[in-house]
Amino acid sequence: MRKSTIAAIAAAALVGFGAVGSAMAADTKTSGWIDVRYIGSNELNQNSERSFTTWGEVDITHDADGNTLRFDLDLLNGGGVDGGTAGLGMGSANADPAALDTNLNVEQANLAIPFDSMATLTVGIWNTPIGYEGQDSPDMPYGANGLLWAYQPTNHAGARVDLTPTDMVNVTLGYANDWQGVAQENSIIATVGVTPVEGVDAVLGYITTDASYGNLLDFWVSYGQDMFNVYAEYMLGDPGTPTGGSTFFDNGWGIGGEVTQGMFGLAARYESAEIVPTGAASNPQPVATSVALFADLTDTDRVSVDWSNYDPDVSGSSDSNSLIVKYVRTFGDDMM
């Protein structure tokens, strides 16, 4: 075969592969965010005071013939960023963020298959539909998630169906690995959400577990307009008798909201819970309070200062305060 013919075939192949690559790139979107923060004070974990930590996420979605593949990867360097003791991001009393390894976490990895405009099946790892608060840093102005969030599931591995029979009603039904980690058992997840009028959203959620931790019932309602948003949440557990130092959730509630004026905003939340510890004469009722000032420098950049207080309501333990300054930047095709 002549060299010119071989070259022509090679060129055609490269053009073909290039066209396929371009088509795939057009169907693939990448987005994410970074969170850089400074922990000014943290009375619960004094080793983390005056330290910097980072947190970030890369999200990739790909449209494959109408189906959507999604992969979210979290990157955490250092401690006290999210979750933590009582969900306040304070970490454990002896944790040293400088000594912690970088952690990678697959937040989501799933395939979403729409059947029609009213039903979508999702299989894989997906965010829980239970609870009001989101788990990603751009979703909250505070330094970390709240008290109730600490007792809720975060992500599930399994299958879920999302139904939208009307513009005012949405339903989620899920079947996943037991969220308390019970082997060979599964959790059933169900939520019903309604939007009766513009600006008002309400969601009732329920999740089961075969663990003695107990099933959870969660209800939240929010109302928002251009310059403000308020919400209330109530969560009810069904705990058994904890053993071996375990702590089970009994019930809790929270209220909060945000108000903005131009690029500046103020957010506050107050949460209380009742927990059932091993061998306690009475059930402690911890309380958490957070206040955050934030500024949206651009559509993708936010700076916030968060003060949080946690009262464990345990004899011999005092309140713990934290002060966190964080900067969040979103990026990509679909801004968070």
What would the pLDDT profile of 107-162 be if each residue is shown by its tens digit?
999 999 999 889 999 999 999 999 999 889 999 899 889 999 989 999 999 999 99
The CATH number assigned to the domain holding 156 equals 2.40.160.10
**Residues sharing a CB contact under 8 Å with residue 27, sequence separation 6 or more, in sequence order:** 62, 63, 64
Which DSSP category does 225 fall into?
A: -
Whether the per-residue pLDDT at 94 is higher than 70: the answer is no
Span 227-242, average pLDDT = 91
Question: In this predicted model, which residue has the larger pLDDT, 312 or 157?
Answer: 157
Is residue 4 domain-resident?
Answer: no
Residue among 97, 101, 100, 125 at smallest CA distance from 111: 125
Query: How many domains does the chain fold into?
Result: 1
Backbone angles phi, psi at 238, to 5 degrees: -140, 65
- pLDDT confidence tier of residue 78, bands split at 50, 70 and 90: low
Whether the per-residue pLDDT at 335 is higher than 70: the answer is no
Whether the per-residue pLDDT at 92 is higher than 60: the answer is no
Instruction: Report pLDDT digits (tens) over 148-180.
Output: 998 999 999 999 999 999 999 999 999 999 999
Is residue 1 domain-resident?
Answer: no
Helix (H, G, I), strand (E, B) or coil at 229: strand
Domain span at residue 152? 31-332
CB distance 209 to 180 below 8 Å? yes
pLDDT in the model for residue 334: 61
Is residue 178 domain-resident?
Answer: yes
Instruction: Report pLDDT digits (tens) over 21-55.
Output: 444 566 899 999 999 999 988 877 777 788 888 88
Tell me the pTM: 0.83
Is residue 212 domain-resident?
Answer: yes
Among 169-183, 244-258, 292-306, whose mean pLDDT is lowest?
244-258
Is residue 214 domain-resident?
Answer: yes
Q: Which two tokens stand for residue 170?
A: 């949405």
pLDDT in the model for residue 231: 98
pLDDT in the model for residue 280: 66
| String of DSSP letters for 273-290 | EEEEETT-SS----EEEE
Whether the per-residue pLDDT at 16 is higher than 60: the answer is no
Q: Which two tokens stand for residue 186?
A: 């599964």
Is residue 12 domain-resident?
Answer: no
Is residue 11 domain-resident?
Answer: no
Is residue 249 domain-resident?
Answer: yes
